[in-house]
Amino acid sequence: MYKNRQIFSRLEEQSKNNKITLLIGARQVGKTTLLSEIYRRLPQDCPKLFLDLDVYSNYEKVSTYENCLNILKLNGYKPNHERRFFLFLDEFQRYSDISLVLKNLADHHPDVKIFASGSSSLAINERVQESLAGRKRTVRVYPLSFKEYLEFVDQSELLEKVNNISGVKSKNLKVLVPEVFTELEKFMIYGGYPEVAQVQDQEKEEVLASIFDLYVKKDLVDFLALDRIKHAKTLIQHLAINNGQETPYSQLAQVASINEKTAKNYVEILRETFIITVHTPFFTNRNKELVKTPKIYFLDNGVRNYFLNNFNGPQIRPDASFLFEGFVISELIKNGFKPDRLKFWRTKNRQEVDLVLNHDSGPVPVEIKYKSHLKVSDFQGLFTFCENYSQSQGLYLINPYNNQPSKEVCLLSPFELEGLNKFA
């Protein structure tokens, strides 16, 4: 049975225009399921065709403009007919010549609506960015958000409680809704890949292993020589250990026994295949951001823990605060924040703010604290930032336990992150 995704309504809207809709995201995040559901919901008599291009014989059917047009006609396409034809191409990024076929269809057959999915933004950008300029709409598909996860594990009652938390003011939400925190901690450990969410706890590690064994074999091998895979895996493991910390490229290069240019290239491949997200420090001088050391987070904690080989619960983890910080960053991206608008701030005097939302009207500083008792010092970075940047658009602190009202700082639970959407 199809489980609802927040992004689905956006995709349904896309079916009404004649642009090519590209779904891009990591393997196994649900792109095929989303395409299949759009396909299934089309009227039964609607002319349509769904092709999985991982099957080479399907690729051959659309490998040239002539072949593609013929296969469309065999499946009910009538040029200049009042009814539109819907073409779905799954895993299209493997073939560079497909972009020319899509371009010709878009230019000469506006009555053909195309949905295409791919698991590598890097391959897609290289091959189709120029040829499909002005002809496409790109939709990024990420792992499940926490609220989607609750629906996937059939916890609709908990989801309702989570949606009502914004109306509750308590010193300790964990006392009021302990069962929500049980699921949150599980989500922080195993992440939001749909297949992982839907299997029993004892199977989750095995499913993650199968997903990322395939990632290494297919995605990494697409971009790296086989003898480089070992270096790449060493680099990934180092990123997992240092998740959410400033990570110099020189350090990555040394650990992985590669040069700094290659280390940057590997990081870019991981970013463009939706494994990590890279965040630069906040400066009013944008040129400084480009040369400073970034923070690198895994987009999914389950993936990070797989490469770390540590699935212990946060209550016994020394890196629990980084697990929570990574969860918050990932949730904001799933809510529509562009990764390049999520910054961090740190001074030479070690004053810092975990997250700065780089909004057009002014920066928005956000602290992320995974602790049951907040201290005055936990707010100091926010106040210092505000002293340095008077145009700041409010002060925010995200904490899972304490959402008591504050005169100066808006306290948000991790279940109320939509409150920041106005700054996306």
Tens digits of per-residue pLDDT, 399-421? Answer: 988 766 678 899 898 998 998 99
Question: Mind listing the pLDDT tens digit for each residue in 176-200?
Answer: 888 999 999 999 999 999 999 999 9
Quick check: 53 and 89 in contact, CB under 8 A? yes
Residue 164 confidence class, pLDDT cut points 50, 70, 90: confident
Residue 328 confidence class, pLDDT cut points 50, 70, 90: very high
* Complete domains list, the chain, with CATH: 8-140 (3.40.50.300), 146-423 (no CATH)
Most confident of 172-176, 221-225, 359-363: 359-363
290, pLDDT greater than 60: no
Quick check: 326 and 143 in contact, CB under 8 A? no
- Of the listed ranges 121-135, 256-270, 302-316, 380-394, the least confidently predicted one is 121-135
- In residues, how long is the chain? 424
Residue 217: predicted pLDDT: 75
Q: What's the mean pLDDT in 361-376?
A: 91
CB neighbour list of residue 246: distance below 8 Å, 6 or more residues apart: 293, 294, 295, 346
173, pLDDT greater than 80: no
Question: How many Cβ atoms are within 10 Å of 12's Cβ, its own excluded?
Answer: 12
To the nearest whole number, what is the mean pLDDT of the chain? Answer: 89
397, pLDDT greater than 80: yes
Residue 226 confidence class, pLDDT cut points 50, 70, 90: low
Residue 250 confidence class, pLDDT cut points 50, 70, 90: very high
Per the model's pLDDT, the better-predicted residue between 285 and 37 turns out to be: 37
- Of the listed ranges 13-22, 39-48, 164-173, the least confidently predicted one is 164-173
Question: How many Cβ atoms are within 10 Å of 306's Cβ, its own excluded?
Answer: 25
123, pLDDT greater than 70: no
Most confident of 58-72, 82-96, 123-137: 58-72
CB neighbour list of residue 102: distance below 8 Å, 6 or more residues apart: 20, 114, 116, 128, 131, 132, 135
Q: Which two tokens stand for residue 65?
A: 């403009």
291, pLDDT greater than 60: no
360, pLDDT greater than 80: yes
Residue 396: predicted pLDDT: 94
